[in-house]
Chain A
């Protein structure tokens, strides 16, 4: 996983995550709201918050890995 990405690259990766996942990731991981608060804010069930958060984090990790691979700084495998 990348260690040398800039803020702009992290934001660019986040922008590639679909909005319904991105909004939950932002509320949970940046604003540190509870599942219940996110549920009330977005008007979706707590279970949906949890599943979207899990998927959103996974998508973000994938996007960040893609960025890192592009720069050849991923720790996972060597580029040809």
Chain B
């Protein structure tokens, strides 16, 4: 926290603290002084808006592009050697963070390449329409929770609400109410893969990782696949690749997936528990 003596009207003394103000790093008194000045000063108010917009633009631009897996692995290896990281449970997260950083840095030299191979691939026959739809949820889980280590993050409730936005922030409570008790919601955000936006919640219970993934339909449908099971009036479709289970359902406008490293029966049980309330939640957005 910083204590700063500010005088009204002195924009040049306020400006250096706008970033700290945005990040809620100022003491209450200083925060109040900055707020008071911003309300009275159009130029500083504009400067504050610019900072918010740049941060948003930057995040969007960087998250759109990702380095290939092979490059990512090589960078991780180099980084461990260079920094002498020992992979204890504590330093693993930091090493992963550092690897992520270098991946992003290399992005700027590779963003012209739009191929983004995942570490785990789902091989689905072109005539397997059910598998083709389920693959969408599988790939976002691999891309986000596994390859980009989001399953090792822990967002605050405020961060999740902000990232999900007002339309989907209510999903957090829906999921908390329906997930088995030991699970906690660790991530709630919007991610992008293959030019598609996903609403993505990650729940964790020690080594068990469960993703709830929602995306708007782009013409896809399961049709009347024979493998569907009924869960309180909702048809659930299932498949698995590399021991990762995928359960999927659809509403009028959305595809919903529950993806996890649990056993098939456990993943289906979680999907069955979530399906009716998630369907009802999405119905409000479809109205």
Task: Tell me the A residues contacting B by CB distance below 8 Å.
Answer: 1, 3, 5, 7-8, 10-12, 14-15, 19, 22-23, 25-27, 29-33, 37, 40-43, 53-54, 57, 60-61, 64, 75
Contact = CB atoms under 8 A, between A and B. Distances in A.
Interface stretch (B96-104, B122-130, B217-225, B264-272): B96-104
Contacts of B16: 54
Contacts of A30: 58-59, 62-63, 104
B7 to A, nearest CB: 21
Contacts of A33: 97
A11 B98 contact: no
Contact of B61 (A7, A23, A54): A7
A30 B63 CA distance: 8
- A contact patch SS: helix
Nearest to A29: B55
A61 B54 contact: yes
B197 interface: no
Nearest to B63: A30
B19 interface: yes
B105 A22 contact: yes
A1 B63 contact: no
A31 B101 contact: yes
Contacts of A26: 62, 101, 104-105
A29 B61 contact: no
Contacts of B83: 43
Contact of A27 (B51, B54, B101): B101
A23 B101 contact: yes
B54 A1 contact: yes
